[in-house]
Amino acid sequence: MKIKYYIPSYGRADTIKTLKYLSKAIALVSPKEYDDYVKYNPDCKDRILKLPEGVQGFGKGRCLNYMLDNLWDDADQLIIIDDDVSCVMAHMKNEKDREVPEEEFYEICENICLLAKEWGCGIWGLSPNSDPMVYDEFKPFRLHAYLDGAITGYVFKDELRYDEKLTIKEDVDYFLQKLKKYHKALRVEKYYLKDEAFTNKGGCFDLRNSETEKKQFIEMQKKWGANIIRPNKPVATNSSKIRGLGGAIRLNLPFSGC
């Protein structure tokens, strides 16, 4: 199985982390930022590629759609991962969580890709929860749990695309599209990403604010219905990624037909 790894990155030339963690991954950047990315990451310059003008900087959805339209030709599956990942972590029940070495990560991804294809899942991802107290070793997989888009394995090439109007909810909408089409999406609970999704500047961070969150929450309810898209109370702990910005979504899953 040929798997290709890509890192869409915008506004983080001096802070991109995933490029250094994964030597097989290719960063895709705006032409205007290409020189800065090479300047700050000279050891990785051969794995930094320019996207066409007008793809980056207009929301992540447009960039992801370009990748889905143009990068499938010589790959069995695509894995797209955020640019702020310093490593992948493995939950270890009753022990300290451990860092997953790079080569082991590739082996894990290949096994998940094979499993997701065998099970007929549209996409796969890892747990969004870094809290070891929540991890249940007897429930290693979930088939109707939300995938947050930090890492996405695209199992089958199809017609589904990201809604480019939803600049900060595009991952939620795309996940629901996949769930509706394939009736399941694989989430592997043992592994999670060590990243800076809610603190790192650049990327979608500059687009995210309470007003935009609320507007897109309303748009999501119009598109999918208030029974599926529900408000979520903001919660924040030292060990949790969850943050409330007034438009946080709680998904009512599975919905009818999946």
Count Cα neighbours of 52 within 13 Å in the Cβ-side half-sphere: 10
Per residue in 98-144, pLDDT (tens digit) is 999 999 999 999 999 999 999 999 999 999 999 988 899 999 999 99
Residue 100, SS3 per DSSP: strand
User: Is the pLDDT higher at 207 or at 154?
Assistant: 154
Q: Find, among 187, 194, 190, the residue nearest to 132 by Cα.
A: 190
Paired with 7 in beta bridges are 27
- Alpha carbons 110 and 39: distance in angstroms, whole number: 32
Domain containing 150: what range? Answer: 3-203
CA distance 4 to 72: 9
pLDDT in tens, 162-202: 999 998 899 999 999 999 999 999 999 999 999 865 445 55
Strands 123-127 and 186-194, sheet pairing: parallel
Instruction: Please report whether residue 11 resides in a domain.
Output: yes
Q: How far apart are CA 40 and CA 35, in angstroms?
A: 9
Residue 107 domain flag: yes
Task: Between 24 and 257, name the one with better pLDDT.
Answer: 24
Residue 219 in domain: no
pTM of the model: 0.87
What is the average pLDDT score of the chain?
Answer: 89
- Specify if 178 maps to a domain: yes
Query: Cβ contacts of residue 1 below 8 Å, gap of 6+?
Result: 76, 77, 110, 113, 114
Q: How many separate domains does the chain show?
A: 1
**157: CATH:** 3.90.550.10
Q: Is residue 193 part of a domain?
A: yes
76 CA to centre of own chain: 19
Say if 230 falls within a structural domain. no
